[in-house]
């Protein structure tokens, strides 16, 4: 299977992505997916609840999503 930059390829979550980089030895590729992917989970202050001691606010988690994430994929030859 010959891969070229710009070809369609599936990202690790199954979305349609585009190849943006191919290694010289053709064993790794990078694909850019236009869908939203979970990047990280951060803890932020929850101002809707009453404060704790020393003006500390309770924490809640907020998910950060990123579009156009690039994944590095190792190609396994069988």
Identify the pLDDT of residue 78.
43
Domain locations in the chain?
8-74
Identify the pLDDT of residue 9.
95
- Both structure tokens of 77: 């030859």
Identify the pLDDT of residue 1.
67
Identify the pLDDT of residue 62.
86
Report DSSP letters for the chain, one per residue: ----TT-EEE-TTS-EEEEEEE-TTSSEEEEEE-S-EEEEEEEEE-TTSPP-GGGPPPEEEEEEEESSEEEEEEPPP-
Per-residue pLDDT of the chain (78 residues; tens, 9 = 90+): 689 999 999 999 999 999 999 999 999 999 999 999 988 888 887 777 777 666 677 788 889 899 999 999 998 874
Identify the pLDDT of residue 54.
64
């Amino acid at each position: 299977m010959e891969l070229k930059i710009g070809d369609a390829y599936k990202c690790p979550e199954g979305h349609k992505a585009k190849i943006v980089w191919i290694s010289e030895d053709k064993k790794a590729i990078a694909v850019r997916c236009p869908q939203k992917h979970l990047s990280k989970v951060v803890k932020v202050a929850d101002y809707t609840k009453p404060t704790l001691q020393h003006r500390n606010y309770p924490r809640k988690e907020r998910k950060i999503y990123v579009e156009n994430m690039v994944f590095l994929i190792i190609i396994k030859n069988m």
